Chain A
Amino acid sequence: MKLLLVGGPPSTGKTTVVQRIIEKRKEKYKIAYLKMDVVTAHEEALICDTYGIEAKTVYAGDLCPDHAEVMILTDALKWAEGICADLLIVESAGLCLRCSPYLNQGVGVVVLSMLAGLHSVDKMKQLICFADVAVLTMNDLVCQAEREVYIRKLKTGFEHLKVLETNALQGIAVEYLCSMVDESKELDINTLELKGNPPLGTCSICMGSKKVGWKNHYGVVRQIDSNVSDYMYRGD
């Protein structure tokens, strides 16, 4: 089975990109689609009804969606294998932009909207840096000068990254993404691993406490003006 992992900030066109890929490859592969989201997602029905392929949604709820994905992924692979899929497409909600959901196998795509502006490249470094290819959407709404600068920033900041400007609505340039999937290796679950370390986040807030103020919490929490060595906070 092959794996395509699509991440990126909300409303950048991830699902549209996925749909165009499914359209181009649904004859070649038996595709399974998994959507990871936080509270609501309508993609499962959309993909299922439109293309008649197996789709599933997992809500992360209280858990960080990227953390949830790490935990759930092996289950998802088993589910996809169980229905004899030979391509699993996972779409991640990507929220805090500090995790990078990309794995040491399969194809990792980050979908970025050019409407987010030039500084967004710097702000999303952690997310972008482990992707194999960046797909730029909504480029037709942004002036040429900014497009050139945006792309230059991506190219110089992330040398390995392939950058693809696409009009996802019309499906242009999607064939290239599909060929990356075609050329990717079969998954080996036993050696599957995240490319990057997720950020630290183990504190009593993570565990559900809603109280406010330092005295109510302990764990790894950054204080204002604190040094790295001060990360551990043990409450009052």
Chain B
Amino acid sequence: MSALVRSFWDFVRELATDNAYERYLTHHREAHANVAPLTRRAFYLKEQQRKWSGVQRCC
């Protein structure tokens, strides 16, 4: 039961992009280990900027 709740919670977090920063860190460690990663806030702001530079919402 707790595994089910856990995976549902992970799903909700991912849907809400709550875990985007953790995912970024994981990727960053693998791909660019020698460069310091962005802070959580800098990452959030940069992501918002990127997200809202294209068509994101419809009629």
Partners in one complex: no
Give residues in B with beta carbon < 8 Å to A: none
